[in-house]
A and B are shown apart, each in its own frame.
Chain A
Amino acid sequence: MISHTGVWVTLIVLGYYHGINPAMGWLFAVSQGLQHRSRRALLRSLVPIAIGHELSIAIVAVIVLGASAAVPSAALHMGAAVVLFAFGVFRFVKPRAHWRWTTMRVSDRELAVWSFLMSTAHGAGLMVAPVLIGLQGVGEASVNARAGDSQDVGMLSHVPLLPSGIGIALHVLTMISVAGVIALLVYEKLGLEVLRRAWLNTDRVWALAFFIAAAVTLITS
């Protein structure tokens, strides 16, 4: 069981983590700004990038919500741990795997699709899954507070809908704020030279995050 605050903090920390990753969007935003010689183009591009990221996570959330209503808690934790572990192995073995994409001239919709594909390929949503499952505890607490609820309602509220929605929104808001600030900093002040110095290879760290998430999911079951 994870505490309320713990859940929000984790989601925000993951938002930072996703926002910092150049492959999740800020670099594309900078390129849009430079290509169109306009800061507005940069800022505009953040919206579809956020929507794509949000969608990628929402899909995982829906699956987790559905699963939590259908299977016992222990099975949910075990299943999620296996998926997370497998995805970690995949990112470890094939750190550069992603959908093919070769375009710079993108409409807002295409940019959202790009962001969705990129977030999905990197497992951004999966990384959030254990935290959503962690919300189970929060859900149970609220259920217990309301005495007399039937067992069925109790099952359904294993992973509560509203806190999940707020959690994802919080995550995406953090992610896009961080990405936006970095994009603006690079565009206005630092210049792209910073890429050559400061871009550390986080492929392994990213893969490792899934192993940790798998372990946490198992332990909290």
Chain B
Amino acid sequence: MTWKPDPTFYPSPRSAAAAPPEELAYVVTLNTAGDGDRRPDALNVIDLRPGSTTYATRIGRLDMPNVGDELHHFGWNACSSALCPWAPHPHVERRYLLVPGLRSSRIHLIDVKDDPTAPKLVKVIEAETLAGRTGYSRPHTIHCGPDGIYVSALGAPDGGGPGGVLLLDHDDFEPLGQWEVQRGPQELAYDVWWNIGYDTLLTSEWGTPAMVEDGVIPELLLGGRYGHQLHVWDLRRRRHTQAIDLGAEQQMVLELRPAHDPRNPYGFVGVVVSTTDLSASVWLWNRENGSVSAHKVIEVPAEPADPDELPPALKPFGAVPPLITDIALSLDDRYLYVSCWGTGELKRYDVTDPARPREDGSVRLGGIVRRAPHPAAGPLTGGPQMVEVSRDGRRVYLTNSLYASWDAQFYPEGISGWMVKLDAEPGGGFRVDPEFFVEFEGERPHQIRLQGGDASSDSYCFP
């Protein structure tokens, strides 16, 4: 029990942006070593304190109890949404990381309070428990919500649909059940987040477990069968209110990044690939006159390439698709970072006017053909994938792995894991920090969470 509010809870995004710089990063890694010596996936602790003798190295690690979880996205048990006015709980603690295995469907509860550099496993929710209580499997995204912990899940235990959202109890972390009261036409799932000031929840679409676990299936992709819709829900009544179809050619609608200011009724969502021309795009959703609409605000074209340099899956096209697999919005709702995992580029857009993003920076790292180098490491495999922005918006962290079976299709020669840092000074300047390069031997890093919160971990009820 604490007497004062958790110091990492902030009533508003503006207040969070004034927080001191983060000192640690938590990064999940996927173990991809050959079958003979397969080891568990892990939660790693990276030192981010400039001047520390262990700066930019791994200073802690927790192996999962089993092999083959495919740790993916993870999140906190509690965050700034605990200050929301209808039921404030400011004295709970941001203490546990909930780390789901996308392949195993286990959810790990990990305590980082006593020694933040030595995470401790305190509980595992097994796949059977999750399926029994919720009917869902393949948990994906975790968000600390105002009345529980929200978890998106790709599908049913048998590998089919529907996927959806489930709730975990705030206190004992037991699965409470499906979140949806009425799902309407929604079948596919991926991400979940909300415009908290408008009682609106949004979900996006990837594919059912059967559609994604063995790699992207070309017939499904070209047939427009992967997700291409955005779903709008009434957060309070838990009912589906709108399905927004971006067009069957817009395949895989993934990361949802709502504006942080609760008065802003909009947000951004990335689309991995268009089957028309292999371009990738970012769409803006906006609420006007009571309903939500979406339109494309960013399009990144494919880059022509010599088929000899392309993996088998891309040879017929003679081009590298940008593959927008992750996006991140700074806490001031001003800068949108866009990962182009295929072409190996991180783009930055000024989205002060969200309907008209203006590109104001770009960094090249890796890429299917380009393999752009890092100053500390030479040519890179993989490309900017998971992107995380610090609360103050001055530092951006990147990792390079997507999902094992998809990594193998787009980077068949293998991905050597890395994490890098970029410096983003406000008002211009956006460059690679030449000193910061973390290598993961035989392992692939995925999502990053910054100690005390970051630009995709918290929701704010006050502007």
Residue positions of A touching B, CB distance < 8 A: 22-23, 27-28, 30-31, 34-35, 37, 96, 98, 100-105, 114, 118, 192-193, 195-197, 199-201, 203-204
Stretch at the interface among B5-13, B54-62, B203-211, B383-391: B5-13
Given known contacts A28-B86, A102-B146, A201-B2, A196 and B7 CB-to-CB distance under 8 angstroms: yes
A46 to chain B, nearest CB (A): 13
A35 and B197 alpha carbons, distance in the complex (Å): 7
From A23, A34, A98, name the one whose CB has the most chain B CB atoms within 10 angstroms.
Answer: A34
A120 and B171 alpha carbons, distance in the complex (Å): 22
A105 and B171 alpha carbons, distance in the complex (Å): 26
User: Interface residue tally of chain B, by bracket?
Assistant: 35 or more
A193→B15 contact, CB < 8 A: yes
A103 and B4 alpha carbons, distance in the complex (Å): 25
A2 and B328 alpha carbons, distance in the complex (Å): 62
In-complex Cβ contact of A34 among B89, B198, B235, B463 (8 A):
B463
A22-B88, A30-B462 provided; 17 other pairs, C-beta below 8 A?
A: A23-B87, A23-B88, A27-B85, A28-B85, A96-B171, A102-B146, A102-B147, A102-B236, A103-B199, A104-B197, A104-B461, A114-B86, A118-B86, A195-B11, A195-B90, A200-B4, A201-B1
From B10, B89, B236, name the one whose CB has the most chain A CB atoms within 10 angstroms.
Answer: B236
In-complex Cβ contact of B87 among A98, A105, A201 (8 A):
A98
B235→A102 contact, CB < 8 A: yes
**Chain A proximity mask over B355-387: 1 for CB below 8 Å, otherwise 0:** 000000000000000000000000000000000
In-complex Cβ contact of A199 among B5, B145, B199 (8 A):
B5
A71 and B272 alpha carbons, distance in the complex (Å): 72
Can you list 8 pairs linking A and B with CB atoms under 8 Å apart?
A: A23-B88, A28-B86, A30-B462, A100-B147, A104-B199, A196-B7, A196-B10, A200-B4
B302 at the interface (CB under 8 A from A): no
A37 and B264 alpha carbons, distance in the complex (Å): 12
A192→B85 contact, CB < 8 A: no
B11→A196 contact, CB < 8 A: yes
A76 and B273 alpha carbons, distance in the complex (Å): 72
A26 to chain B, nearest CB (A): 9
B39 at the interface (CB under 8 A from A): no
A191 to chain B, nearest CB (A): 8
B4→A201 contact, CB < 8 A: yes
Return chain B residues, CB-CB under 8 Å to A105: 197-199
A30 to chain B, nearest CB (A): 7
In-complex Cβ contact of B91 among A28, A37, A203 (8 A):
A203
Given known contacts A96-B171, A103-B199, A195-B11, A35 and B463 CB-to-CB distance under 8 angstroms: yes
B239 at the interface (CB under 8 A from A): no
Return chain B residues, CB-CB under 8 Å to A23: 87-88
B189 at the interface (CB under 8 A from A): no
Return chain A residues, CB-CB under 8 Å to B12: 192
Return chain A residues, CB-CB under 8 Å to B133: none
B2→A103 contact, CB < 8 A: no
**Chain A proximity mask over B429-443: 1 for CB below 8 Å, otherwise 0:** 000000000000000
B149 to chain A, nearest CB (A): 13
Given known contacts A30-B462, A201-B1, A102 and B171 CB-to-CB distance under 8 angstroms: no
A195 and B2 alpha carbons, distance in the complex (Å): 15
Closest 3 CB pairs of A and B: A192-B11, A27-B85, A28-B85
B147→A101 contact, CB < 8 A: yes
A203 and B88 alpha carbons, distance in the complex (Å): 12
A113 to chain B, nearest CB (A): 11
From A35, A196, A197, A199, name the one whose CB has the most chain B CB atoms within 10 angstroms.
Answer: A196
- Contact residues of B between 1 and 54, Cβ < 8 Å to A: 1-5, 7, 9-12, 15
In-complex Cβ contact of A35 among B146, B171, B236, B262 (8 A):
B262
- Contact residues of B between 223 and 259, Cβ < 8 Å to A: 235-236
A103 and B145 alpha carbons, distance in the complex (Å): 12
A137 and B229 alpha carbons, distance in the complex (Å): 68
- Contact residues of B between 444 and 462, Cβ < 8 Å to A: 461-462
A104 and B2 alpha carbons, distance in the complex (Å): 27
Return chain B residues, CB-CB under 8 Å to A100: 147
A96→B11 contact, CB < 8 A: no
A30 and B11 alpha carbons, distance in the complex (Å): 12
Given known contacts A101-B147, A104-B262, A192-B15, A27 and B88 CB-to-CB distance under 8 angstroms: yes
B356 to chain A, nearest CB (A): 24
* Smallest Cβ-Cβ distance to A29: which chain B residue: B85
Return chain B residues, CB-CB under 8 Å to A35: 197, 262-263, 463
Return chain A residues, CB-CB under 8 Å to B92: 96
Given known contacts A102-B199, A105-B199, A199 and B171 CB-to-CB distance under 8 angstroms: no
